[in-house]
Amino acid sequence: MEDRRALIAGNWKMFKTCSEAVETARQLVEFVPDVNEIDVMIAPAFTSLALVNDIVQGSCISLGAQNVFWEKEGAYTGETSSDMLVSAGCKYVIIGHSERRQYFGETDETVKKRIDAAINGDLIPILCVGEMEKERESGETFSVLDKQIKKGLEDFSYSDLRTLVIAYEPVWAIGTGKTATSDQAQEVHLFLRSLLEKSFGAKFSESVRILYGGSVKPNNISELMAMNDIDGALVGGASLNAEMFSRIIHFKHQ
């Protein structure tokens, strides 16, 4: 099995004004001065990216965006290109978050275009997939994920996707306080890895980092990270507080 480097990523969603984002980033740099054994990323709102970049530059914390548009530039009011994100200091971009799928008409087809833009723009894509509660209850979890992965990654080669990160985020666990058990998450992560193996080969599937997301907190991160196929976490609510997020980042030392 490949030695996959863990990634703990914070999704700040539509929270924090510029000054609040700067303050939280400052605190985080203080609480997490030198984490070498894992990767850490925070994704503030677009308005705070460049400001937060000034704070985290030179630290062990990388910057990510919460979305990217697929065109390079043009008359697309309200959109943000990969070049713009890179110029603001971004290394990662979250793509296909369930909130974008639920409220903003994101589809597997648009996800695919965004992944393409990220790869061509030198950003590491974090592709979010996950089933709704009713889909889990009706036994459709695997078929939903199969479609999201196959359609979202259609036509790419494994070398296109060499930096890809996947985040498994069961929609029923996001912001609800209901976490998938570590066994439930491991079962899905293994399934996702088997899907990747079928499409792109074993070497690729063993190297892809698969994060878990959905009500990750300091008290459940260690158990999740102990699972073979869980390579990190995408954290929403608990990443908004620097002290709480730093406890998640320091999961090995709890």
Cα separation, 91 vs 30, in Å, equals 21
How far apart are alpha carbons 211 and 167 in whole angstroms? 4
Write out the E strands in 83-214: 90-95, 124-129, 165-168, 209-213
Stretch that binds ligand PEP, among 33-41, 142-150, 197-205, 234-242 (CB under 6 A): 234-242
Tell me the window of 17-25, 65-73, 203-211, 213-221 that interacts with ligand PEP (CB under 6 A).
213-221
Distance separating alpha carbons of residues 220 and 207, to the nearest angstrom: 24
Shortest CB 201 distance to ligand PEP, Å: 29
Does position 64 interact with ligand PEP (CB under 6 A)? The reply is: no
Q: Which is nearer to ligand PEP, 11 or 48 (CB)?
A: 11
3-state class (DSSP) for residue 63? strand
Residues 114, 39: Cα–Cα separation, whole Å: 23
- Cα distance between residue 160 and residue 162, in whole Å: 6
11 belongs to the binding site for ligand PEP (CB under 6 A): yes
- Least distance between ligand PEP and beta carbon 11 (Å): 4
Between CA 204 and CA 80 the distance in angstroms is: 30
**Known catalytic residues?**
97, 169
DSSP 141: H
Binding mask 151-190 for ligand PEP (x = CB under 6 A): ------------------x----xx---------------
Judge residue 155's burial from the number of C-beta atoms within 10 Å of its C-beta, 0-12 exposed, 13-18 middle, 19 or more buried: exposed
- Closest approach, Cβ 101 to ligand PEP, in A, equals 12
Q: Which of 52, 118, 234, 248 binds ligand PEP (CB under 6 A)?
A: 234
List the one residue from 213, 221, 224, 249 that touches ligand PEP (CB under 6 A). 213
CB of 97 to ligand PEP, least distance (A): 6
The contact set with ligand PEP (CB under 6 A) reads 11, 13, 169, 174-175, 213-216, 234-238
